[in-house]
Amino acid sequence: MEILDVDLLRFEKGSKVARRSVVDGVMKSLATGFVYVAHDMSINMIDDVYATLQTFFSLPQERKDTYKVAGSNGQTGYTGLLVETAASAEAPDFKEMLNWSAERPKGHPLRTLYPYRYGPPTLPEQDIAGSTKLLGDFHDIVAALQIRVSRIIAVGLGLHQSFFERMLIDGANLTRAIHYPAMHQAPDSIHVWAAEHADINLITALPRATAAGLQVKINQSWVDAVPPENGAIINTGLMLERFTNGLIAPGLHRVVSGPGQQGDRYSVVQFAHPEPWTLLTPVPTTVTADNPLKFPTITAADALSKVIWEINLVEEGRRIPD
């Protein structure tokens, strides 16, 4: 198995044969849990986003702490170092994060039910003028990319291409900027910034990182994720595993500072979440005599709540106490 590179525009603008080739490539690659996608996102915008985020993470700790949001359990605002912990680990990840989502209007039922996932984003406008618009626009563009990729996966599963799109239009997508502080690795050692884990959501998009470090677990071995220049990394999550009755497993990955690696690493990922009230039920095309129903039904909100506790983000009852 290997991670393949596919061209999103060939699916959208190509011939029937070209579209089928892209679908086949994506589904084959997702056996690894990952695929590289050539896209048309603005490289200049991505550069501006990283410059803004590096400025934010360079602020004094007391300024960053003002962007913490009590009770949000890591779903908006700033989360400090050594908090989030992989579900399979006991030691926390060595990273700090800034999280934001798209706001919905007051009175919208999703904002009423899930205020920290659909309310105003907590962004560093007071310290970095213009950051709210830039990061908000970036969130929307990546969310659109996620929908475009979801259409390919839906077709690959024998579904209408809008199947996942319908649940993502008002989905609780979470964009997360992550700063991994420099570890100054010796030539013969690695440091694990973020332990092995799978994402909870449907799919995850990583337009680009500033340094190496993402590794994918394929056939019980760790493989560096190295996308083509200006390509995005897409990986699968636990919710897609449920929708596909286990046919598409979540992509296992970790983040490491490799042998001899110097300097910090920054990445911006977006987790594509269905609307929280979505029922995570295997689609009919994936349930057969050879692949009987594996998963009971659960709402997307409940599945996320369980994982938030497992990864140590529940502030009033952390799995691993501070």
pLDDT at 312 over 90: no
- Decide if 293 contacts 272 (C-beta within 8 A): no
In a domain, 189, yes or no: yes
In a domain, 92, yes or no: yes
pLDDT value for 229: 87
pLDDT at 318 over 90: no
DSSP state of 199: B
Where residue 281 falls among pLDDT bands split at 50, 70, 90?
Answer: very high
In a domain, 19, yes or no: no
Residues 6+ apart with CB under 8 A from 96: 57, 64, 78, 79, 80, 81, 178, 179, 181
- Decide if 201 contacts 168 (C-beta within 8 A): no
In a domain, 200, yes or no: yes
Give 85 or 316, the one with higher predicted confidence. 85
Give 185 or 196, the one with higher predicted confidence. 196
Q: What φ, ψ does residue 297 adopt, rounded to 5°?
A: -75, 140
pLDDT value for 321: 66
In a domain, 317, yes or no: no
pLDDT above 90 covers a percentage of the chain that reads: 83
Cα atoms found within 13 Å of the Cα of residue 240, Cβ hemisphere only: 31
Which whole number is the average pLDDT over 148-159?
97
Q: What φ, ψ does residue 133 adopt, rounded to 5°?
A: -70, -45
Three-class SS of residue 144?
A: helix
Which whole number is the average pLDDT over 46-67?
97
- Decide if 226 contacts 211 (C-beta within 8 A): no
Where residue 190 falls among pLDDT bands split at 50, 70, 90?
Answer: confident
Q: Structural domain of residue 214, as residue ranges?
A: 37-310
In a domain, 4, yes or no: no
- Convert the pLDDT of each residue in 229-247 to its tens digit: 889 999 999 999 999 999 9
Structural domains of the chain, count: 1
Look at the block and give the residue holding tokens 């990546």.
142
pLDDT value for 103: 94
User: Average per-residue pLDDT in the chain?
Assistant: 93
pLDDT at 40 over 80: yes
- Decide if 138 contacts 49 (C-beta within 8 A): yes
pLDDT at 206 over 70: yes
Q: pTM value?
A: 0.94
In a domain, 16, yes or no: no
Where residue 322 falls among pLDDT bands split at 50, 70, 90?
Answer: low
Give 258 or 135, the one with higher predicted confidence. 135
CA–CA distance, 51 with 179 (Å, rounded to integer): 12
Which whole number is the average pLDDT over 132-137?
97
The residues that bridge with 128 in the sheet, in sequence order, are none
- Decide if 97 contacts 85 (C-beta within 8 A): no
In a domain, 229, yes or no: yes
Look at the block and give the residue holding tokens 């700790």.
61
Which whole number is the average pLDDT over 91-114?
94
Q: What are the Cα distances from residue 172, in Å, to 2, 248, 274?
A: 30, 22, 6
Which whole number is the average pLDDT over 35-41?
93
What CATH number does the domain containing 196 carry?
Answer: 2.60.120.330
